[in-house]
Amino acid sequence: MSKFRIAPSILSANFAKLGEEVDNVLAAGADIVHFDVMDNHYVPNLTIGPLVCEALRKHGVTAPIDVHLMVKPVDRIIPDFAKAGATYITFHPEASEHIDRTIGLIRDSGCKPGLVFNPATPLDVLEYTLDKLDMVLLMSVNPGFGGQKFIPYVLDKARRVRQMISARGLDVSLEIDGGVGPANILEVAKAGVDTFVAGSAVFGAAKDSDPHRYDSIIAAL
Ligand code: DX5
Ligand code: ZN
């Protein structure tokens, strides 16, 4: 099995038939469902919450669901997502008053915690938190919208995080989110990333035609 994982972001899916869209990308080889939660407060957009996560589980989705919280405050929504079937819950350090507590809440609720760094957010807090995390998520766009352009300086951050993970001998996933597609995924992988979020690259083309369209794009990633 490949150590690389593809995580389609359902932000770019057709929400009118979300269950089918998720089934199709998983059947085409995707590994994880990336689930973007936006609150029109921490980020300038509004998306989906625990009800939709629960609906995907009830629909029969068994793949890991990677809940990317772009909300402030963070803590009170964590138990709801845990109950709704989230696998990973990641949050932005700027959105939590007590980062260590939030990580503990996620872990204690039975989910895998991750920290998300915006492009210009320094990595300092990893010094104290890396060994408590299952995932580090690097934003390669400013959060809020799909379809934005990849910010190249994040590659250097990826190399630094990979180095920190290796130096400490930890088993922490390094995920990247934003502007990833067939044109740059190899370069991103070479920087040490193992989990690739892709929204518009996966769901963007020919939304309502053939479900098998996902096979070739996921194979190309
Ligand atoms: C942006 C979201 C992303 C977004 C990525 O704030 O966190 O997950 O869906 O979309 P693409 O792959 O189109 O950049
Ligand atoms: Zn995301």
Q: pLDDT tens digits for 148-170?
A: 999 999 999 999 999 999 999 99
Instruction: Tell me if residue 134 is catalytic.
Output: no
Alpha-carbon gap, residue 19 to 189, rounded angstroms: 29
Strands 5-8 and 33-38 turn out to be unpaired
**CA–CA–CA angle 200, 203, 208 (5° rounding):** 135
Q: Which ligand is nearest to the CA of 13?
A: 1
**Annotated catalytic residue, options 36, 39, 66, 134:** 36
User: How is residue 155 written in tokens?
Assistant: 């590659």
Segment 204-216 shows an average pLDDT of 65
What integer best gives the mean pLDDT of the chain?
Answer: 95
Q: Is 9 annotated as a binding residue?
A: yes
Confidence of residue 44 (pLDDT cuts 50, 70, 90): very high
Segment 22-31 shows an average pLDDT of 96
pLDDT the model gives residue 82: 98
**Annotated catalytic residue, options 31, 39, 134, 177:** 177
Instruction: Tell me if residue 108 is catalytic.
Output: no
Confidence check: pLDDT of 211 > 70? no
Q: Are 120 and 154 in contact (CB under 8 A)?
A: no
Q: Are 177 and 197 in contact (CB under 8 A)?
A: yes
If you ran DSSP here, which 8-state letter would residue 31 be given? -
**pLDDT one-digit tens code per residue, 57-98:** 999 999 999 999 999 999 999 999 999 999 999 999 999 999
pLDDT the model gives residue 214: 73
49 ligand 1 Cβ < 6 A: no
Q: Quick check: pTM over 0.90?
A: yes
141 ligand 1 Cβ < 6 A: yes
Q: Which one-letter amino acid corresponds to residue 199?
A: G
Q: Give 73-77's long-range contacts (Cβ < 8 A, gap of 24+).
A: 73/97, 74/102, 75/101, 75/102, 75/105, 77/37, 77/49, 77/50
Segments making up each domain of the chain, as ranges = 5-220
pLDDT the model gives residue 207: 53
Segment 167-187 shows an average pLDDT of 97
Helix (H, G, I), strand (E, B) or coil at 194: coil
Residue 24, number of CB atoms within 10 A of its CB: 22
Confidence check: pLDDT of 132 > 50? yes
- 5-220 maps to which CATH number? 3.20.20.70
pLDDT the model gives residue 1: 43
Segment 181-185 shows an average pLDDT of 95
Confidence check: pLDDT of 37 > 90? yes
Residue 168 backbone dihedrals phi, psi, to 5 degrees: -95, 0
Q: Is 134 annotated as a binding residue?
A: no
pLDDT the model gives residue 42: 98
Peptide bond into 73 cis (omega under 30): yes
Q: Are 84 and 50 in contact (CB under 8 A)?
A: yes
Confidence check: pLDDT of 131 > 60? yes
